[in-house]
Chain A
Amino acid sequence: TQLLEQSPQFLSIQEGENLTVYCNSSSVFSSLQWYRQEPGEGPVLLVTVVTGGEVKKLKRLTFQFGDARKDSSLHITAAQPGDTGLYLCAGVRGGETSGSRLTFGEGTQLTVNP
């Protein structure tokens, strides 16, 4: 089983602070995705990183894929209360000809206090 370990599991910070969430695995993934889930809703894709060492920015969010494609990080600058939610990383396995098999991490519950 290819497991993805996310840390920290819970994070409570004040508005304006920076934070980093980590996603680590002993396995190589063809790509890695980050999702955000709000209460009562399904996860929504934020970004997909494909190339080892790739860095993608989405406003105040910076995503990085490790050189060996085994780990990833999500950095949020100047967090805002609207960033509150459950952040999930998901590794995509290669080889399938149709569809994608996502292996999810355990999630990081982020709370940004005003």
Chain B
Amino acid sequence: DTAVSQTPKYLVTQMGNDKSIKCEQNLGHDTMYWYKQDSKKFLKIMFSYNNKELIINETVPNRFSPKSPDKAHLNLHINSLELGDSAVYFCASSRGRRTDTQYFGPGTRLTVL
């Protein structure tokens, strides 16, 4: 069984388009995260939700909007895509306590042309 799943795996789109990435976890976790990994493999947190409430919002352009319809889902919507948005986006989840293990999804490789 897949613990944290993301769709799509690959996303190729034109500049200016709007796109969404979906994430689902079946671990019963309370907290979910979005990370961005750039071409140099640097991984940086973007957002975190706990029980559908936004708790971490790093300095991310307003074009990025996370949405959590329920505890098991955290989607990422990106408006007006730019070339610099090209990266691998990872969803993760954890039980919610500070030292808990974060389980990462397989990633979505976004390429903006």
Chain A interface size band reads 20 to 34
| Cβ contacts under 8 Å, A7 to chain B | none
A42 touches B4 (CB 8 A): yes
B85 located at the interface, meaning its Cβ lies under 8 Å from any Cβ of chain A in the complex: no
B1 located at the interface, meaning its Cβ lies under 8 Å from any Cβ of chain A in the complex: no
CA distance A106 to B106 in the complex (A): 19
Residue from A48, A92, A94, A98 in contact with B96 in the complex, judged by beta carbons closer than 8 Å:
A98
Interface flags for A100-114 (1: CB within 8 Å of B; 0: not) read 111010110100000
Majority secondary structure, A binding face: loop
How many positions in chain B have a CB within 8 Å of any CB in the partner chain? 29
Given contacts A99-B33, A99-B56, A102-B45, contact A41 B107 (CB under 8 A): yes
CA distance A48 to B101 in the complex (A): 8
| Cβ contacts under 8 Å, B42 to chain A | 104, 106-107
A45 located at the interface, meaning its Cβ lies under 8 Å from any Cβ of chain B in the complex: yes
CA distance A42 to B100 in the complex (A): 17
B101 touches A86 (CB 8 A): no
Which positions in B face A, CB cutoff 8 Å?
4, 30-31, 33, 40-45, 48, 50, 55-56, 90, 92, 94, 96-107
Which positions in A face B, CB cutoff 8 Å?
30-31, 37, 40-45, 48, 50, 86, 88, 92, 94, 96, 98-102, 104, 106-107, 109
